């Protein structure tokens, strides 16, 4: 009787093993997109690519958001929770750019979401006064952050890519301006011999982090270098499609309060 039970158990194990071996990613490909309904870009919130600081919950071992191995100066994907070595950097393809003026309440006083978001051409900054922390304050006590949004594809080591947003503000606005200048200043010779400016998504850039400081504190900031042209046709097509989605207003951005870069003060 015991032998029969053992034989049956072995048969089950063998069947289970056979099912595992027979199953392959081709099954996923056959059922591609099933269960996702008619999801579009407007139904998705794009993740942020951020720099971890000394006060980021991801580096604190007792915090629920702690990530093993995370350190100040590393780069963090808010959706996948992946962390990247800031000294090595991450490869990205810049697809689109959008500048916004975002109104915030002081930390702890609001919901953690923006009070208002104004377009770049708004005159809201003319209604502000610079305080001792170098924040542009409105009469209601809220402050305005001049924010540069760089919509990018991050290129992973395994050959895959995903959409991310790099939001640059305060001290990093200078980095954003330099990045824009790098893209606008790039010239290629066309078939007729004339020079032209290629699209932003024609080239790959490396985003690294470096230590910075001023009289208000210390933090890590971005260091941006151009690596070279996009050589993969599929990557180029994905970057172009992403750029068109942003231009059409189909990409949803959910801005949230970030952890302060330097203990009690925000460097500007």
Q: 78 pLDDT exceeds 50?
A: yes
pLDDT tens track for 112-157: 899 999 999 999 999 999 998 889 999 999 999 999 999 999 999 8
Q: pLDDT tier at 108 (50, 70, 90 boundaries)? A: confident
Radius of gyration of the chain (CA): 24
pLDDT tens track for 185-205: 999 999 999 999 999 999 999
Q: What is the pLDDT of residue 226?
A: 97
Q: What is the pLDDT of residue 38?
A: 46
First-to-final CA distance of the chain:
79
Give this prediction's pTM.
0.80
Q: pLDDT tier at 110 (50, 70, 90 boundaries)? A: confident
Q: pLDDT tier at 256 (50, 70, 90 boundaries)? A: confident
194 is written with which tokens? 């004339």
Cβ pair 147, 101 in contact under 8 A: yes
DSSP annotation string for 76-135: EETTT--EE-TTT-EEEEEEEEEEEEEEEPPTTTS-SS-SEEEETT--GGGG-EE-TTS-
Residue 69: which of 89, 55, 54, 83 has the closest Cα?
83
Kindly report the number of other CB atoms within 10 A of residue 55's CB atom: 16
Q: pLDDT tier at 109 (50, 70, 90 boundaries)? A: confident
Q: Which residues pair with 38 in a beta bridge?
A: none
pLDDT tens track for 20-46: 445 556 666 667 656 544 444 444 579
Q: 207 pLDDT exceeds 80?
A: yes
The domain ranges of the chain are 2-247
Q: What is the pLDDT of residue 26?
A: 66
């Amino acid at each position: 009787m015991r032998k029969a039970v053992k034989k049956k158990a072995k048969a089950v194990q063998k069947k289970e093993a056979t099912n595992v071996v027979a199953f392959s990613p081709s099954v996923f490909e056959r059922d591609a997109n099933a269960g996702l309904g008619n999801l579009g870009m407007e139904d998705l919130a794009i993740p942020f690519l951020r720099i971890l600081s000394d006060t980021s919950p991801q580096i604190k071992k007792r915090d629920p958001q702690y990530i093993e191995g995370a350190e100040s100066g590393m780069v963090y994907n808010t959706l996948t929770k992946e962390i990247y070595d800031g000294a090595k950097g991450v490869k990205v393809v810049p697809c689109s750019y959008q500048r916004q003026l975002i109104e915030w309440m002081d930390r702890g006083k609001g919901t953690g979401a923006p009070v208002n978001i104004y377009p770049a051409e708004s005159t809201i900054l003319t209604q502000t006064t610079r305080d001792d922390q170098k924040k542009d304050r409105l009469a209601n006590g809220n402050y305005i952050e001049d924010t540069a949004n760089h919509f990018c594809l991050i290129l992973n080591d395994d050959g895959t890519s995903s959409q991310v947003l790099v939001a640059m503000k305060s001290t990093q606005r200078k980095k954003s301006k330099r990045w824009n200048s790098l893209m606008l200043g790039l010239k290629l010779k066309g078939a007729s011999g004339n020079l032209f400016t290629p699209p932003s998504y024609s080239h790959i850039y490396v985003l690294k982090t470096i230590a910075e400081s001023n009289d208000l504190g210390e933090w890590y900031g971005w260091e941006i270098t151009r690596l070279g042209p996009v050589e993969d046709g599929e990557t180029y097509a994905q970057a172009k499609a992403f750029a068109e989605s942003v231009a059409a207003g189909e990409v949803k951005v959910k801005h949230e309060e970030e952890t302060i870069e330097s203990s009690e003060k925000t460097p500007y």
